[in-house]
Amino acid sequence: MAALEEAVLYALKAKPGEFVSGEELSRLSGVSRTAIWKEIEKLRAEGYKISARPRQGYKLTAVPDRLTAQELRWNLKTRVVGCRVHAYESTDSTMDLSHRLAASGEPEGSVVITESQNKGRGRMGRVWASPRGTGLYFSVLFRPALPVSRVPHLTLVAAVAVAEAVADSTGLRPDLKWPNDLLIDGKKICGILTELNAEVNRVNYVVVGVGMNVNTAKSDLPAHATSLKAQAGEKIDRIALARALFQRIDARYHQFLGGGWEPILEAWRSHARFLGSRVRVALEGRVIDGHALDIDSDGALLVRADTGIVESVSAGEVLLVR
């Protein structure tokens, strides 16, 4: 979207439910009223619903259900997340694109978001289904001044932020399953993927990816998954939810950098209702059967194995045993 078109859009959005005169839009944008009319027509062509009345001007009545940079950045009150938004109709993987941008010097907080992915992925090389126009698939680039050993904490930081944003936006309360899944009624709605680029003692950057089933049809989901729409019984505003996610991730990220790890751990525990449940943990070369007890100060999962030994799990796949 060109700068003038964006300026007109933002002037209309600044007065929700009100008419804005062509004269005022002309004054704010520094162009003629004829030029304003042309920009209004461009916005309408992109799916914006704009009413017009003689001597009153223009009123924005509806925005398209499309994840555009202009909508996502509108009045976004964050410190870094969303400083830049790269929005696409389709891409192979937001994670891959974020890595390429990071290598070329992209600033911290930049977001890559897409309506669909051709090669979306989750942990352990799994495919993440990304139907067009129904979910949220995005990655955020971070450049934290952290030791490499603390980077895995960012997965739990992001999980807390995402769970809180979903609860605030929909009234639903997701459960967190260590280390990176959000569930509702035992079915997956969201996965979080964290990838690191580092040297021996230096973090170059971290990419945190989020894949969420928002308005996804049941027919487009595997049996073990669900969507927010299916759980809430109504369509979810993806733009509002994405903005809430950016804001929560930003806030929890800066809390973490500022030494607030313990409150984040407590918040994580409050959403982790699987703690106390029977689990099976698949590790490389062996399996642990037992009960999930807690997470320790490093974010590792503590499991009391059937042997009676409490094991600390820092990597692996956790299955809930019914």
Give the C-alpha separation, 319 to 294, whole Å.
15
Number of neighbouring beta carbons within 10 Å of residue 306: 11
In this prediction, residue 201 carries a pLDDT of: 84
pTM of the model: 0.93
Give the CA-trace dihedral at 14, 15, 16, 21, to 10 degrees. Answer: -120
Q: pLDDT per residue over 91-137, tens digit each?
A: 989 999 999 999 999 999 999 999 998 876 655 556 666 778 899 99
Q: What is the pLDDT of residues 46-72, one digit of tens each?
A: 999 999 999 999 999 999 999 999 999
Which domains, and CATH codes, for the chain?
3-62 (1.10.10.10), 69-271 (3.30.930.10), 278-320 (2.30.30.100)
Map tokens 């309408």 to a residue. 44
Determine which helix (DSSP H) or strand (DSSP E) holds 129, and give its type and residue range: none
Among candidate residues 58, 79, 69, the one with its CA nearest the CA of residue 13: 58
Distances (CA, A) of 188 to 5, 183, 205, 235: 39, 4, 28, 18
Q: What is the pLDDT of residue 129?
A: 64
Residues of the chain short of pLDDT 70, as ranges, are 120-129, 322
How far apart CA 275 and CA 185 sit, in angstroms, is 15
Closest CA to 246 of 210, 202, 276: 210
All residues at 6 or more sequence positions from 177 whose CB lies less than 8 Å from its CB, including other chains: 183, 272, 274, 318, 320
Radius of gyration of the chain measured on its C-alpha atoms: 22
> Smallest Cα–Cα separation from 110: which of 121, 120, 97, 122?
97
- d(CA 179, CA 79) in angstroms, rounded, equals 26
Local structure of residue 182 (DSSP, 8 states) = E
Give residue 59's pLDDT. 98
Q: What would the pLDDT profile of 194-211 be if each residue is shown by its tens digit?
A: 999 998 889 999 999 999
pLDDT at 216: 92
